[in-house]
Amino acid sequence: MKEKNVIFVMAILIIAVILIAMFGLPVYRVWQKEKRGEANLREAEWSKKIAIEEAKAIKESAKYRAEAEVERAKGVAEANKIIGASLRENEQYLRYLWILGLQDGNSEVIYVPTEANLPLLEATRGLQK
């Protein structure tokens, strides 16, 4: 009789496990997918926050670069004013710079228009061959 009771209890346990598995497994799968979805949603939210913060950093960096460029341009403009003012009534210095430029060996061809619109230096170039 004891053996029959043990077999009966084992059969009930097996049936109980099967019933729990039949009903519990689908519920568990739904719960698991729900939790996975929540995790994906949180990850997407964090990715979005990170992208926003990176965009803000790029915007701020561009703003500071623009401000630096404006300051640099102001410095160049001020330097140009100073140089222009110093050269305005100083033709001797400009002649001196021109002469130095001719002496460095990197002189350029200077074209002077004539009546026939031919440069003086080029008028006889074809005849020299």
* pLDDT tens per residue across all 129 residues of the chain: 788 888 888 999 999 998 888 888 888 888 999 999 999 999 999 999 999 999 999 999 999 999 999 999 999 999 999 988 888 877 787 778 777 777 776 666 566 666 666 555 555 555 555
Domain assignment present for 85:
yes
pLDDT on residue 24 = 84
Instruction: Give the pair of three-digit tokens for residue 83.
Output: 């140089």
pTM (predicted TM-score): 0.45
Domain assignment present for 115:
no
Contact 80, 72 (CB under 8 A): no
Domain assignment present for 119:
no
Domain assignment present for 128:
no
Domain assignment present for 24:
yes
Give the domain extent around 24.
2-104
pLDDT on residue 64 = 97
Helices marked H in the chain — which ranges? Answer: 2-88, 91-103
Domain assignment present for 116:
no
Spatial CA neighbour of 84 closest among 103, 96, 93: 93
Residue 109, H or E segment: none
pLDDT on residue 109 = 59
Give 93's contacts (C-beta < 8 A, 6+ positions apart). 87
The three-point CA angle 65-69-72 to 5° equals: 140
pLDDT on residue 112 = 62
Number of domains within the chain:
1
Contact 111, 122 (CB under 8 A): yes
Instruction: Give the pair of three-digit tokens for residue 58.
Output: 């790029």
pLDDT on residue 74 = 96
pLDDT on residue 88 = 81
Domain assignment present for 11:
yes
Spatial CA neighbour of 122 closest among 110, 108, 104, 107: 110
Domain assignment present for 114:
no
